[in-house]
Amino acid sequence: MITVEEILRKQDLRGTACRRFIINGLLESDRALSENELKGDFPELFDRVTFYRTLITLEEHGIIHKIVLNDNSVKYALNSHHQNENNLHSHFHCEECDEVLCLEGKTRFEAELPDNFVSHSVFVVIEGFCADCASHIK
Amino acid sequence: MITVEEILRKQDLRGTACRRFIINGLLESDRALSENELKGDFPELFDRVTFYRTLITLEEHGIIHKIVLNDNSVKYALNSHHQNENNLHSHFHCEECDEVLCLEGKTRFEAELPDNFVSHSVFVVIEGFCADCASHIK
DNA sequence: ACATGTAATGCAACAATGTTGCAAATATAA
DNA sequence: TTATATTTGCAACATTGTTGCATTACATGT
Ligand SMILES: [Mn+2]
Ligand SMILES: [Mn+2]
Ligand SMILES: [Zn+2]
Ligand SMILES: [Zn+2]
């Protein structure tokens, strides 16, 4: 399993507490996390702006990616959670418990674009119920 | 072509200036529009909150839908811009000129969800270049 | 045309999030 | 250990989302 220091080193990024904190949080989680979920029990550990800029830095270096949901909320996940190399970023969002998962592997999307349109990347959010919530509800 | 009054009547909605303004704007546009794009030359015509609440009302009554883009910006389009009845909302967003189109018809998406997950609806945003921008760039 | 009840509006106020500039603190490499 | 470039925290401001409430407008029946 890859370590935080390796991830930072590979991108020529300095090792700072905030970067380590965020990457660790995502490494330990099997789902995507919002800024507040990441902060968890330490909401004041880093300045809001530092956290904000660190997320940008990690995204720019291809370590994490942002997932914007239909309710305007945002979650983050490690890029390593996506296996496919075809620029298809697909995610599941549970309407009940709000959990967000990166969908690895077997996703497929096809769209017929207007003439001469060029596609660079595709973002998919599937809204529904996760297994737990589906069994509890009705 | 359906008229604004018909759209409102069909949903048992009162005819107010703000509702007519928004629906008209979207009827006359072939693309999805942001709140500011909708307001156009009359940014102060309605109170910000009225505009906000009117968009919610129109969405709740199934007249328009919201499109949340990867940069957290939001656009709106008439529901009639989508032909398919399978809860697949798919959109194109030009990274250069920022135009957003509802993709009608020929889109297909398949994903293998984890066991017992239930899908209710799927939102897709394709990022790329529209025809105009693709020809101007490089 | 008018009165009436209901629904929509404008305004104030606040919350949440995004964004920048800058001086102080820190990480790395020499 | 020192030098330098980077990162941090803070203040400040922008944008957008959200609610409560008093005023105004709409649609319906008279
Ligand atoms: Mn993901
Ligand atoms: Mn659409
Ligand atoms: Zn759930
Ligand atoms: Zn374009």
The pLDDT value recorded for residue B84 is 72
pLDDT tens-digit series, residues B48-75: 999 999 999 999 999 999 999 999 999 9
Per CB-CB distance under 8 Å, the chain A contacts of B111 are 90, 103, 106-108, 124, 126
Residue B106 has pLDDT above 80, yes or no: no
**How many angstroms separate the Cα of B20 from the Cα of each of A76, B54, B78, B82, B105?**
39, 10, 13, 21, 28
> How many structural domains is chain B composed of?
1
What is the mean predicted confidence (pLDDT) over A35-46?
Answer: 95
* Chain mean pLDDT for chain B: 94
Residues 6+ apart with CB under 8 A from B63: B7, B11, B23, B78, B79
Q: State the Cα–Cα distance between residues A25 and A43, nearest whole angstrom.
A: 13
| Ligand with smallest separation from the Cα of B69 | 2
Residue A39 has pLDDT above 80, yes or no: yes
The pLDDT value recorded for residue B110 is 87
Closest nucleotide over all strands to A68 (CA to C1'): C17
pLDDT tens-digit series, residues B12-26: 999 999 999 999 999
Per CB-CB distance under 8 Å, the chain B contacts of A127 are 119-123
A41 in Cβ contact with A12 (< 8 Å): no
Angle at A32 between CA A31 and CA A34, to 5 degrees: 135
The pLDDT value recorded for residue A109 is 86
Phi, psi of A54 (to 5 degrees): -65, -40
Query: Given CB atoms, is B64 within the 8 Å cutoff of chain A?
Result: no
DSSP A32: B
Structural tokens at position A62:
């291809």
What is the mean predicted confidence (pLDDT) over B124-128?
Answer: 96
What residues 11-50 of chain B have any CB closer than 8 A to a CB of chain A? none
Nearest to A92 by CA among A134, A37, A132, A130: A130
User: Which bases along strand D come within 7 Å of a protein CB atom?
Assistant: 6-12, 16-20, 25-27
In this structure, are strands B88-94 and A88-94 parallel, antiparallel, or unpaired?
A: unpaired
What is the mean predicted confidence (pLDDT) over B100-114?
Answer: 88
| Residue A117 to residue B90, Cβ atoms within 8 A | no
Residues 6+ apart with CB under 8 A from A31: A77, A99, A100, A101
Note down the domain range covering A108.
Answer: 4-136
> From the CA of A78, how far away is ligand 1's center (Å)?
7
Q: Which of B107, B111, B117 minimises the CB distance to A131?
A: B117
* Chain mean pLDDT for chain A: 94
DSSP B81: G
Per CB-CB distance under 8 Å, the chain B contacts of A109 are 107-110, 124
pLDDT tens-digit series, residues A108-138: 888 899 999 999 999 999 999 999 999 998 6
The pLDDT value recorded for residue B87 is 80
The domain that holds A15 is classified in CATH as: 1.10.10.10
Residue B27 has pLDDT above 80, yes or no: yes
pLDDT tens-digit series, residues A63-91: 999 999 999 999 999 998 887 767 889 99
A100 in Cβ contact with A32 (< 8 Å): yes
Report how many Cβ contacts below 8 Å link chain A to chain B.
132
